[in-house]
Structure 1
Amino acid sequence: MSIKTRPCSLTINGRSYGPIEVPEGLMMIDFLHEYVALTGSRLGCGQGICHACVAIVDNPDGTSEEVRTCITGAHFFNGKKVRTVEGHSQQNEQGEVIAISPVQQAFLEHFSFQCGYCTPGFVNAATIFIEKLKHQPVERDKLEDAIVEALNNHICRCTGYVRYYEAVRDLVLKTPGLVKETTQ
């Protein structure tokens, strides 16, 4: 008995992959780990609840969204542009990290994580949130609710929520153009 495969081609962190023969029904988390050696996304619950596994899909209309890779097959991503946590840092030609993203830096400055298992999902969620605010700034008095909405689906077993939320709030407040003053 042979496993049925289909070709899959996609762009991950700016690099094209494929066509690669991928088993039908293979989850994206397994594709990332086993086919392209990107292990930053974490398999937490395996049921799409904790969001540790999310990757970012950049849509043709310029919007981005989180997609849970533990419950979404690799073929869903065929033809799409995907970002994983590995794609947020700047790297030199040898693949060495030379600078981390502002979100990653904020999380470090706030000691936002304990075990770090959920961190890739939080990094991706916060990145999408910051990118969204660049196009649609939030009113200052609605910032806290906006942060909760952006990060609310992510579960941290070590209960690091306060530090994640504080890091995002501080990054938003110190980045020009993301917050507009409340109109009266």
Structure 2
Amino acid sequence: MSIEKRSLTLTINGQKVGPVDAPVGMPMIDFLHDHLDLTGTRFGCGQGICHACTVMEIQPDGIPIETRTCIFDAHFFNGKTLITIEGQAKRDEHGEVSDLTPIQQAFIEHFSFQCGYCTPGFVTAATVFVESLKRQPVKRADLQSRIETALNDHICRCTGYVRYYQAVQDVALKTPGCVID
């Protein structure tokens, strides 16, 4: 008995992938890990609860949203555009990281991780959040509660939340147009 496969085409980290035959029902996280060697996105609970598997899905209007990869099969993403944790930083012509995003840099500066397992999901959520603030700024007095809401679904088993929130607050306050008085 053979495994049923279907054609899949999408864009990941700015690169067209496919058409490639992928097993029907294969979770996207497995496709990322096993077929594309993109292992930065983490498999946590396998039920979409912890959000360690979160990537950015770029909507047709260019707006990024968070999408979990453990609960959707690869074919759910057919024709879509995704950015994994590997695709967020700028890279040079040799593929080496040349410039971290403001969120990534702030996470390092605030040491916003302990074991680091959940960090790719938090970086993705924070990036989506800051991008939303660029379109719809928040009052300074409401910033902390908005950060908590934006990151609330992400689970850190090492209790690194305070540092994650501080890093995001730092970026939001330093990014022109995100916070209004």
Which digits, 9 at most, give the CA deviation of each residue in 1:1-38, with x for residues without a partner?
A: 01000000000010000001000000000000011110
Equivalent residues, number: 181
CA distance in 2: counterparts of 1:143 and 1:98, whole angstroms: 30
State the secondary structure of the residue aligned to 2:57: strand
Point out 4+ residue stretches in structure 1 off by more than 6 angstroms: none
Aligned to 2:71: 71
User: Superposition RMSD on alpha carbons, in Å?
Assistant: 0.7
Which amino acid letter does the alignment assign opposite residue 46 of structure 2? G
Q: 64-73 or 10-19: which moved more?
A: 64-73
What is the TM-score when the length of structure 2 is the normalising length? 0.98
Aligned to 1:40: 40
Structure 1 residue 132 displacement after superposition: 0.7
State the secondary structure of the residue aligned to 1:52: coil
Structure 1 residue 99 displacement after superposition: 1.1
Which amino acid letter does the alignment assign opposite residue 70 of structure 1? C
Aligned to 1:27: 27
CA distance in 1: counterparts of 2:100 and 2:34, whole angstroms: 25
Structure 1 residue 63 displacement after superposition: 2.1
CA distance in 2: counterparts of 1:93 and 1:177, whole angstroms: 32
Which amino acid letter does the alignment assign opposite residue 144 of structure 2? E
CA distance in 1: counterparts of 2:177 and 2:68, whole angstroms: 30
Structure 2: runs of 5 or more not aligned: none
What is the TM-score when the length of structure 1 is the normalising length? 0.97
Structure 1 residue 93 displacement after superposition: 1.2
Structure 1: runs of 5 or more not aligned: none
The percent of aligned pairs where both chains have the same amino acid is 62
CA distance in 2: counterparts of 1:102 and 1:61, whole angstroms: 23
Which amino acid letter does the alignment assign opposite residue 130 of structure 1? V
